[in-house]
Structures are given as C-alpha cells and as structure tokens.
Amino acid sequence: MSVFDHKAYDNHEKVAFFHDAKSGLKAIIAVHNTNLGPALGGCRMWPYASSEEALTDVLRLSKGMSYKSAMANLELGGGKSVIIGDPRKLKTDEMMLAMGEFVQSLGGKYITAEDSGIAVKDLKLMAQRSDYIAGTQAKYRYDGGEADGNPAPSTAYGVFVGLRSSVRHALKTDLNGVSVAIQGLGHVGYRLAEHLHREGAKLFVTDIYPDNLDKAAQELGATVVSPDEIFALDVDVLAPCAMGAVINDNSISLLKAKVVAGAANNQLAEERHGQILKDKGILYAPDYVINAGGVIDIFHQKMDSSAEAMRKHIEGIGDTLVEIYQRSEEQNLPTNIEANRMAEERFLAK
C-alpha cells in the first residue's frame, strides 16, 4: 500500500497508523492541514474490506474537514480517524481506551469527535486517556434549549439559515409561500421542515420509512410524496437531507427547482455536476458550507462559549453563502468550485 503517492494523499501533513495488539485496535489518523488550528474531525469505525480502503476513506474525509472548518470560520484544521472493524461485533472498551492513547500521542494536533460507528459513550472512554476528545459533553443548545449532545438541531438551523439566504439570492423573496421538497425526514430533515413551516413555506416531503411522514403531514401540513417523485416536483427548492450523490446525471435532468440547498454530505455525484446545475440556472448551496452547523456546535461545546455565540456563529453560514454566490457570479464559476477556492485561500494562505 502506497501512502505518499496515494491518489487522495494531497499534501496531508501527517498520516499515523496505530496497532494495539492487546485490544486489537487498528486505526489510522489523517491530519490534512493545521494552518488554521488543530485538526478536528470525527472518528469512524467501519468494517473496511482492506487497509487500502480505510486509508482512502480517511484521507478523503480528512481533506474535506479542512474545507469545511475553513468555510465555517473556525480556527480549526482538517483531520479524521478511522478504526478498522465492525463496531457491532468488534468494539470493546479496551479498544476505545487504546484509541484515546493514539489520539493523545499526537499531542493535540488532532481532536476527535463522533462519526459512524462511534457513540458518545465511546468518546467518553477515549477521554479517559486523551485531552483531545470533543463531543463528550453538551453544555449549550444554539437556541438556549436543553442540550442533549446531538448536533442535529444546530445542523438543521444552519441549513435553514442557508436555505433562506439562497432563496433570497436566487428568487428575491422570503420563505413565505416558497415550495420546498425535502428528501429525508431524519434528525436534520424533520427539524428543517419545522423551521420552514414556521416561515410559511409549502412543504413536500419523502422518506423510505413512514415514521416522520405522517407527523409532517399532520403537524406541518406537508404533502407526502414517494421517494422517486421528489426530484421531478415543480417546486422552488430541493433540500437533500438523506444521503450523498443525489445530484447525478439521472436526477439533474428531472430537476425543476431553482435552488438546491440541503444537509446531506457529498450531494454532487461528481464536481462537474456543479457546472451542470449552473448551466441550468439552478443555485447550488455547497453542502459542506450549508451543513456546518454541527461542527460549529462541537467547537462551541469544546470551548468555554455560550448559546448566543453559537447561534450567531451558525447564522454566519447565510453570509458565507452569499459571499460564495457573489464571487461565483463575478468569476463565472459554479458555486462548488468557488467554495473550494475560497476555502483554499483561507487554509493555505496562513
């Protein structure tokens, strides 16, 4: 397995491999860039088929965090860690303690947090061996409500603020009467629907599970549609809040929406789909910019901050998007490419 000439290596500052024979831990920490501050990024435990696959994943995710933190105006760099193995079968307390030791051994260059396969309980075990674990304790909620440690309310609020800015920019209107199609009514999607309903938006919703659909119909007056109908709806906004790669050659030809703004990570199947959206006159809110409420939340929980400071910081997502839109118009570039450029200006220049 090559590392320096790996296709996703892309100037990583540090890639560390760790094996603890006693607990069976096999993990990789990737630190992409720390010019803006220590690298923050979650720890993922996944049954990777090979160490090559784990390396590819950690390098891609870690680089993505440099862009996300830079655009979220955080004094943080980009990093990520992965543990190789099925969390339901192989995860033990000893392994989490060993992971804490691994994180500690980087001396604060990398701060870890939750990701797939890792829960708050696991982070608390890591924190017994490391000072560089975030997301173990929730002190604030952006709206002053009781914090339960779930960053989804902050993510949903950031997506709401970003969607509102995007609609103002593209359609020159507030949200009253604007129609929004939401794909995925999970932790983020349902909360986004509540915010939009309060502002008078008309909602169309879908999910592969019925749990929240009836509730959205009854409480938010939403129209429920089937998963395969969502892209072709004659709506103003599409909000992908389920999974990645939903903007692809098939879905793009169906879109009637004028704005795409949602929580899902990696919405564009390929970067070139940003150009196709632009050519069709559809404004795309770059996913890692609009969904940064969660990482902003984690940052404020780790610092000695306040609910008010967290809320203001999340609201900045709206201004950042407008800056991207203005610059992309000046440069005649798709918004995803302009966002990448702006992020690089921030984390490479320092």
Residue list for the binding site for NAD(+): 184-189
**Residues forming beta bridges with residue 183, ordered by sequence position:** 206, 240
Stretch that binds ligand NAD, among 75-83, 167-175, 237-245, 318-326 (CB under 6 A): 237-245
Closer residue to ligand NAD (CB): 238 or 242: 242
CA–CA gap between residue 275 and residue 295 (Å, rounded)? 27
80 is catalytic: yes
Closest contact distance (angstroms) between CB of 341 and ligand NAD is 22
Residue 186 as a binder of ligand NAD (CB under 6 A): the answer is yes
Residue listed under structure tokens 């902050």: 154
Distances (CA, A) of 98 to 92, 262, 319: 10, 37, 41
Closest contact distance (angstroms) between CB of 244 and ligand NAD is 6
Residue whose C-beta lies closest to ligand NAD: 186
Residue 34: closest CA among 6, 58, 71, 62: 62
Closest contact distance (angstroms) between CB of 291 and ligand NAD is 4
Q: Which amino acid is at 60?
A: R
Site for ligand NAD, residues 190 to 219, rule: CB under 6 A: 206-209
Report yes or no: 76 and 64 within 8 Å, Cβ to Cβ: no
Site for ligand NAD, residues 243 to 262, rule: CB under 6 A: 243
Closer residue to ligand NAD (CB): 277 or 317: 317
Contact with ligand NAD (CB under 6 A) among 29, 263, 296, 324: 263
**Residues forming beta bridges with residue 156, ordered by sequence position:** none
Closer residue to ligand NAD (CB): 251 or 335: 251
Residue 313 as a binder of ligand NAD (CB under 6 A): the answer is no
Contact with ligand NAD (CB under 6 A) among 61, 241, 255, 310: 241
CA–CA gap between residue 163 and residue 263 (Å, rounded)? 10
CA–CA gap between residue 343 and residue 68 (Å, rounded)? 8
CA atoms within 13 A on the CB side of 171: 22
Residue listed under structure tokens 């395969």: 228
Closer residue to ligand NAD (CB): 107 or 244: 244
Closest contact distance (angstroms) between CB of 87 and ligand NAD is 16
Report yes or no: 308 and 40 within 8 Å, Cβ to Cβ: no
Residue 114 as a binder of ligand NAD (CB under 6 A): the answer is no
Closest contact distance (angstroms) between CB of 129 and ligand NAD is 26
x/- binding map, residues 80-99, to ligand NAD, per CB under 6 A?
--------------------
Report which secondary-structure segment, H or E, holds 318: helix 307-331
Sign of CA dihedral 318, 322, 323, 324: positive
Between CA 82 and CA 89, with CA 85 as vertex, the angle to 5 degrees is: 135
Residue 265 as a binder of ligand NAD (CB under 6 A): the answer is yes
x/- binding map, residues 135-174, to ligand NAD, per CB under 6 A?
----------------xx--x-------------------
Residue 242 as a binder of ligand NAD (CB under 6 A): the answer is yes
**Residues forming beta bridges with residue 17, ordered by sequence position:** 28
Residue 294: closest CA among 159, 144, 116, 137: 159
Separate counts of helices (H) and strands (E) for the chain: 13, 11
Chain positions contacting ligand NAD, by CB under 6 A? 151-152, 155, 183-189, 206-209, 227, 241-243, 263-265, 291, 294
Q: Which residues are catalytic?
A: 80
